[in-house]
Amino acid sequence: MNHDVQKIIVLDFGGQYKELIARKVRALKVMSVIMSGDTPIERIQKENPIGIILTGGPHSVYKEDSLHADKALFDLGVPVLGICYGMQFMAHSLGGEVAPCAISEYGKTKTTIDTNSLLYKGIDTTTNTLMNHTDFVKRIPEGFVVTGHTKNCPVASMECPERKLYAVQYHPEADLSESGLDVIRNFLYEVCGAVGDYTIGDFIDKEIQRIREQVGDKHVVLGLSGGVDSSVTAAILERAIPDQVTCIFVNHGMMRKHEPEEVEAAFRGKHLKFVHVNAEKRFLDRLKGVTDPEQKRIIIGEEFVRVFEEESAEYEGSFLAQGTIYPDVVESGHASGAVIKSHHNVGGLPKETKFVGLVEPLRTLFKDEVRELGVLLGLPEEYVSRQPFPGPGLGVRCIGELTKDRLDILRDADYIYREELKNAGLKFDQYFAVLTSMRSVGVKGDGRTYGYVVALRAIHTTDFMTCEYAHIPYDVLDKITSRIVNEVKGVGRIVYDITGKPPATIEWE
Ligand code: XMP
| CATH for the stretch 200-384 | 3.40.50.620
CB burial of 307-325 (b: ≥16 within 10 Å; e: otherwise) equals bbeebbeebeebbbbbbbb
Residue among 173, 198, 229 nearest 26 (CA): 198
- Fold of the 403-496 domain: GMP Synthetase; Chain A, domain 3 (3.30.300)
Tell me the chain's radius of gyration from C-alpha atoms: 26
Give the distance from CA 146 to its chain's centroid: 36
pLDDT tens for residues 112-164? 999 999 999 999 999 999 999 999 999 999 999 999 999 999 999 999 999 99
392 CB within 6 A, ligand 1: yes
The answer to whether the Cα torsion of 2, 220, 317, 278 is positive or negative is positive
Alpha-carbon distance 89 to 244, whole Å? 50
Residue type, 34: I
The confidence score (pLDDT) of residue 354 equals 83
Instruction: Report whether pLDDT(346) > 90.
Output: no
pLDDT tens for residues 452-463? 999 999 999 877
Q: What is the DSSP letter of 289?
A: T
Q: How confident is the model at residue 351 (pLDDT cuts 50, 70, 90)?
A: low
Instruction: Report whether pLDDT(252) > 50.
Output: yes
The confidence score (pLDDT) of residue 463 equals 74
| CATH for the stretch 7-191 | 3.40.50.880
The residue whose CA has the least distance to atom 20 of ligand 1 is 390
Residue intervals of the chain classified under CATH 3.30.300.10 are 403-496
Query: 246: exposed, middle or buried (C-beta count within 10 Å: 0-12, 13-18, 19+)?
Result: buried
For the ranges 112-116, 276-280, 381-385, the lowest mean pLDDT is seen at 381-385
Give the three-state DSSP class for 385: coil
User: Could you tell me the distance, in angstroms and rounded to a whole number, from the CA of residue 495 to the centre of ligand 1?
Assistant: 21
Residue intervals of the chain classified under CATH 3.40.50.620 are 200-384
Q: How confident is the model at residue 337 (pLDDT cuts 50, 70, 90)?
A: very low
Q: Determine the average pLDDT of the residues in 288-304.
A: 95
Residue intervals of the chain classified under CATH 3.40.50.880 are 7-191
Q: Determine the average pLDDT of the residues in 199-219.
A: 94
User: Could you tell me the distance, in angstroms and rounded to a whole number, from the CA of residue 506 to the centre of ligand 1?
Assistant: 7
506 CB within 6 A, ligand 1: yes
Alpha-carbon distance 267 to 270, whole Å? 5
What is the Cβ-side half-sphere exposure of residue 34, based on CA atoms within 13 angstroms? 32
Return phi, psi of residue 476, to 5°: -70, -40
The confidence score (pLDDT) of residue 201 equals 87
pLDDT tens for residues 20-38? 999 999 999 999 999 999 9
280 CB within 6 A, ligand 1: no
What is the percentage of the chain residues whose pLDDT exceeds 70?
Answer: 95
